[in-house]
């Protein structure tokens, strides 16, 4: 009934028809009346503000002018007529142009009469003009009801060609909402609306398109952002509920001999309290046969690897195999080395499988894996190829989740009759509220404590002019027996330029720190793998004191003796990357330094990034700032998550609303998980609609 009105296909809106409907679908994703009313303006122009013609700039977008028409002229051929009126105020003049309705407009214009003109000026050969402006007299404007805020909608060339520019959208939408049949049923439970003072849905939608004033508009936008985040949270919670309720995982009831032996004899240090807590959380999850789907967050150097190792041992002790998947070959190699080293004296078989594994070894690995002789398989996404078959896969550990999509995760699942427990590790901390939304289907464990003895890295910002001073500092550190990284940016689009920067840098470093006293490693993307390994090895073993490189060292090397990280052109790096690079030092007992070198000209964002780095070592704080600066879309390749296709809300700036939405969603889910109560009937309908419209929801779980 009322619902079905909203779901009427857009071609049935008066004045639309099949052809315009096609363009609306293709260009704006508008298929129904519903989609149209949810096509919100991206900004508003305040019509209580008047501009002077002299001040007209393209950045202003639409402007409102007050003045008089001084002349009117018909130009062009008979077939292509246009009407040009000269409009002037005390500051200057501008042309008003009409291509359509020339005769009618001409007859209605009054020379000398004061008009209020509204429209978007364009500049053609240095001359400003407004095509098809809105023209009102002060009198007629007073009679128009509504507020001063004019909505501005996104449009496109194709839409505009069919008359659907911003004003066209406004007209269409106003026509729709003034239809007597127009009705938007409320689905947010009344108790929530009351408790948090949220306006009703239909009112909020009407206000978005024709606001009374800024204040009311703000309240209504808030309500619609809430509604958006609230439904997402409900779907995520329900998804997780049904996943944990329905899906069984392998039962790891035993704390077996390998774990005990490792813990007592091989663990080279005492676990931090945070590590202990997280291991306990993981054990509890896997003990009872519920399926574990857990995100492990921890800052660089917080010791996630050993947590992964202990979890793997639990699986092995219970007769299962484990796979560890990393996004890059270097990372996979590193995990393989760490695991092999730590488990060296134990009867546990570990192998590495990546894209560069040779066929004979590959076959051997496939066989050992299927026969059950192999316990742990470390690798890249080569692991998810169909040829890779496990004897009994019980656990999948995924490092750096954000580079793997949900689809890839689910491929791993299918490698065992009972889906393996999943532990996803990420070194890029995400604010908790965002984690809830991005990974709402995962439980979150956090290692919020660094191993003892770590001193915060002293981070400072210097301009290129201070290079001599920095080199003296490097010299003094090398005198003390420390090692130094000097990192240059790597920008994919201009590999040649970067290479030049790096080589110039290398040259000046070798000039300042000559052989035989100093030995310098260089590592960059153009080198062969063996060369790279050799140079890296020289540095790792302490034979070379300085490492000059591009960001390839971001992951991979662990040199506790390195105490200085110099980042060149630091303004070119993102915050999380700067933080990751800084994590390469401060791993030993010595005081460490991170030096951010930049040019003199810095954008406001770059300045914020540098200040943040100098202020804090806390990865979560860094992540908060990163999120605020860039928004979540840019963060960590999060576009993969279907949950982020938001119309109004911004996960970076609307964290408070997100928290509220999460809180309300948790309450509803707890009190009435199946939405059986009458006050949740409309909510249930809306959630079904969203779930069926959004293909992505099927993937998340
Ligand atoms: P990340 O969380 O970045 O993966 P790693 O697991 O690589 O961190 O650990 C960083 C370093 O800290 C490693 O050298 C590791 O051996 C060491 N480490 C981990 N846990 C502890 C601990 N509890 N006490 C002392 N050192 C630890
Ligand atoms: Mg790690």
What residue owns the CA closest to ligand 1's atom 15? 303
Mean pLDDT of 508-535: 87
Give the pLDDT band of residue 647 (cuts 50, 70, 90): confident
Give the pLDDT band of residue 13 (cuts 50, 70, 90): very high
**Poorest-pLDDT segment among 324-328, 479-483, 520-524:** 324-328
Q: What are the CA-CA distances from residue 342 to residues 123, 266, 373 (Å)? A: 69, 7, 19
The tokens describing 701, both together, are 């779980």
pLDDT of residue 36: 96
Unique residue bearing structure tokens 């501005």: 152
What residue owns the CA closest to ligand 1's atom 22? 451
Mean pLDDT of 492-511: 78
pLDDT of residue 644: 54
Whether 335 lines ligand 1, by a CB cut-off of 6 Å, is no
pLDDT of residue 404 exceeding 90: no
Give the pLDDT band of residue 694 (cuts 50, 70, 90): low
Q: Among all ligands shown, which has an atom nearest to the Cα of 454?
A: 1
d(CA 40, CA 385) in angstroms, rounded, equals 43
Q: Among all ligands shown, which has an atom nearest to the Cα of 303?
A: 1
Which atom of ligand 1 is found nearest the CA of 270? Answer: 23
Mean pLDDT of 392-404: 80
Q: What is the sign of the dihedral through the CA atoms of 358, 359, 365 and 366?
A: positive
Whether 271 lines ligand 1, by a CB cut-off of 6 Å, is yes
Contact of 366 with 387, CB cutoff 8 Å: yes
Which atom of ligand 1 is found nearest the CA of 560? Answer: 14
Give the pLDDT band of residue 496 (cuts 50, 70, 90): low
With CA atoms as reference, report the closest residue to 527 among 488, 499, 559: 499
Mean pLDDT of 269-287: 93
pLDDT of residue 6 exceeding 60: yes
pLDDT of residue 409 exceeding 70: no
Contact of 485 with 566, CB cutoff 8 Å: yes
Mean pLDDT of 377-405: 85
Residue-averaged pLDDT of the chain: 86
Whether 428 lines ligand 1, by a CB cut-off of 6 Å, is no
Whether 483 lines ligand 1, by a CB cut-off of 6 Å, is no
What residue owns the CA closest to ligand 1's atom 9? 303
Whether 296 lines ligand 1, by a CB cut-off of 6 Å, is no
Which atom of ligand 1 is found nearest the CA of 558? Answer: 14
Q: Among all ligands shown, which has an atom nearest to the Cα of 327?
A: 2
What residue owns the CA closest to ligand 1's atom 24? 451
pLDDT digits (tens, 9 = 90+) for 584-605: 898 877 899 999 999 998 998 8
pLDDT of residue 457 exceeding 80: yes
With CA atoms as reference, report the closest residue to 176 among 30, 381, 278: 30
d(CA 280, CA 332) in angstroms, rounded, equals 26
Whether 298 lines ligand 1, by a CB cut-off of 6 Å, is yes
Give residue 35 CA to ligand 1 midpoint distance, Å.
50
Percent of the chain past pLDDT 70, that is, above it, reads 89
Mean pLDDT of 297-316: 92
What residue owns the CA closest to ligand 1's atom 25? 451
Mean pLDDT of 107-131: 89
Whether 427 lines ligand 1, by a CB cut-off of 6 Å, is yes
Whether 300 lines ligand 1, by a CB cut-off of 6 Å, is yes
pLDDT of residue 66 exceeding 70: yes
What residue owns the CA closest to ligand 1's atom 18? 303
- DSSP H helices, 162-213, are 166-177, 190-195, 201-209
Give the pLDDT band of residue 385 (cuts 50, 70, 90): confident
Helix (H, G, I), strand (E, B) or coil at 511: helix
Q: Among all ligands shown, which has an atom nearest to the Cα of 306?
A: 1
pLDDT of residue 402: 55
**Poorest-pLDDT segment among 122-126, 177-181, 648-652:** 648-652
Whether 303 lines ligand 1, by a CB cut-off of 6 Å, is yes
**Poorest-pLDDT segment among 49-58, 179-188, 495-504:** 495-504
Residue 507 exposed, middle or buried by CB count within 10 Å (0-12, 13-18, 19+): exposed
Which of 297, 300, 305 best tests ligand 1's pocket when mutated (most atoms within 8 Å of CB)? Answer: 305
Give residue 605 CA to ligand 1 midpoint distance, Å.
32
Mean pLDDT of 43-47: 83
The tokens describing 131, both together, are 């095509």
**Poorest-pLDDT segment among 240-244, 398-402, 442-446, 581-585:** 240-244
Whether 24 lines ligand 1, by a CB cut-off of 6 Å, is no
Give residue 427 CA to ligand 2 midpoint distance, Å.
7
pLDDT of residue 285 exceeding 60: yes
Give residue 446 CA to ligand 1 midpoint distance, Å.
15
Q: Among all ligands shown, which has an atom nearest to the Cα of 305?
A: 1
d(CA 338, CA 344) in angstroms, rounded, equals 10
pLDDT of residue 28 exceeding 80: yes
Which atom of ligand 1 is found nearest the CA of 304? Answer: 2
pTM for the complete prediction?
A: 0.64
Give residue 361 CA to ligand 2 midpoint distance, Å.
26
Whether 521 lines ligand 1, by a CB cut-off of 6 Å, is no
What residue owns the CA closest to ligand 1's atom 27? 451
Tally the C-alpha atoms within 13 A of residue 650's C-alpha that lie toward its C-beta. 9
The tokens describing 672, both together, are 């009435």
What residue owns the CA closest to ligand 1's atom 5? 303
Give residue 618 CA to ligand 1 midpoint distance, Å.
16
Which of 267, 298, 301, 338 best tests ligand 1's pocket when mutated (most atoms within 8 Å of CB)? Answer: 301
pLDDT of residue 143 exceeding 80: no
pLDDT digits (tens, 9 = 90+) for 525-582: 778 877 887 888 889 889 999 999 987 665 556 788 999 999 999 998 888 889 988 9
Mean pLDDT of 461-475: 94
pLDDT of residue 691: 79
pLDDT of residue 43 exceeding 90: no
pLDDT digits (tens, 9 = 90+) for 603-629: 988 999 999 999 999 888 888 888 777
Which of 451, 555, 589, 617 best tests ligand 1's pocket when mutated (most atoms within 8 Å of CB)? Answer: 451
Mean pLDDT of 238-266: 80
């Amino acid at each position: 009934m009322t619902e079905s009105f909203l779901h009427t296909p857009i071609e049935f809106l008066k004045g639309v028809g099949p052809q315009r409907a096609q363009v609306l679908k293709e260009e704006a994703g508008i298929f129904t009346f519903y989609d149209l009313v949810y096509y919100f303006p991206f900004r508003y122009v305040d019509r209580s503000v008047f501009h002077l013609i002299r001040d007209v700039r393209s950045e202003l977008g639409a402007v409102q002018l007050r003045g008089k028409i001084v002349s009117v002229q018909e130009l062009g051929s008979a077939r292509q007529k246009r009407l040009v009126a000269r409009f002037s105020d005390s500051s200057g003049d501008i042309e008003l142009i009409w291509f359509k309705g020339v005769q009618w407009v001409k007859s209605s214009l009054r020379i000398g009469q004061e008009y209020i003109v509204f429209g978007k000026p364009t500049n053609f050969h240095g001359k400003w003009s407004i095509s098809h402006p809105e023209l009102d007299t002060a009198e007629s404007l007073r009679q128009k009801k509504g507020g001063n805020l004019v909505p501005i909608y996104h449009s496109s060339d194709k839409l505009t060609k069919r008359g659907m520019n911003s004003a066209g959208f406004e007209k269409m939408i106003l026509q729709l909402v003034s239809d007597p049949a127009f009705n938007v049923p409320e689905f947010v439970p009344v108790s929530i609306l009351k408790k948090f003072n949220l306006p009703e849905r239909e009112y909020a939608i009407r206000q978005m398109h024709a606001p009374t004033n800024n204040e009311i508009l703000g309240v209504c936008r808030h309500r619609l952002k809430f509604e958006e985040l609230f439904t997402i949270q409900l779907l995520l919670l329900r998804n997780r509920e049904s996943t944990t309720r329905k899906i069984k995982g392998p039962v790891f009831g035993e704390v077996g001999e390998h774990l005990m032996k490792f813990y007592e004899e091989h663990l080279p240090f005492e676990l931090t309290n945070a590590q202990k807590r997280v291991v306990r959380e993981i054990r509890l999850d896997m003990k009872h046969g519920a399926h574990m789907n857990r995100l492990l967050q921890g800052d660089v150097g917080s010791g996630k690897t050993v947590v992964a190792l202990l979890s793997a041992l639990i699986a092995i002790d219970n007769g299962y195999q484990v796979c560890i998947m990393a996004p890059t070959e270097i990372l996979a190699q590193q995990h393989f080395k760490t695991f092999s080293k730590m488990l060296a004296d134990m009867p546990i078989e570990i192998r590495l499988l990546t894209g560069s594994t040779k066929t004979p070894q590959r076959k051997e690995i496939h066989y050992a894996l299927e026969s059950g002789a192999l316990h742990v398989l470390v690798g890249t996404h080569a692991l998810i190829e169909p040829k890779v078959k496990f004897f009994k896969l019980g656990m999948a550990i995924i490092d750096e989740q954000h580079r793997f999509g949900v689809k890839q995760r689910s491929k791993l699942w299918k490698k065992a009759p009972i889906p393996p427990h999943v532990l996803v590790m990420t070194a890029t901390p995400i604010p908790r509220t965002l984690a809830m939304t991005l990974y709402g289907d995962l439980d979150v464990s956090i290692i919020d404590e660094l191993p003892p003895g770590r001193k915060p890295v002293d981070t400072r910002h210097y301009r290129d002019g201070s290079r001599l001073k920095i080199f003296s500092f490097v010299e003094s550190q090398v005198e003390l027996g420390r090692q130094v990284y000097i990192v240059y940016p790597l920008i994919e689009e201009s590999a040649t330029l970067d290479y030049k920067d790096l080589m110039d840098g290398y040259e000046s470093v070798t000039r300042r720190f000559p052989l035989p006293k100093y030995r310098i490693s260089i590592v960059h993307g153009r080198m062969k793998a063996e060369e790279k390994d050799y140079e890296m090895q020289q540095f790792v073993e302490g034979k070379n004191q300085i490492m000059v490189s591009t960001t390839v060292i971001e992951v991979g090397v662990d040199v506790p003796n390195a105490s200085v990280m110099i980042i060149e052109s630091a303004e070119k790096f993102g915050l999380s990357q700067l933080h990751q690079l800084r994590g390469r030092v401060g791993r030993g007992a010595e005081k460490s330094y991170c030096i951010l070198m930049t040019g003199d000209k810095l954008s406001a964002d770059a300045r914020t990034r540098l200040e943040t780095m100098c202020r804090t070592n806390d990865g979560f704080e860094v992540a908060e700032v990163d999120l605020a600066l860039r928004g979540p879309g840019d963060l960590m390749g999060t576009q993969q998550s279907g949950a982020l296709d938001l119309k109004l809300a911004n996960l970076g700036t609307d964290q408070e609303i997100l928290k509220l939405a999460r809180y309300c969603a948790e309450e509803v889910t707890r009190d009435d998980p199946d939405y059986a109560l009458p006050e949740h009937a409309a909510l249930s309908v809306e959630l079904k609609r969203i779930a069926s419209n959004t293909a992505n929801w099927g993937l998340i779980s």
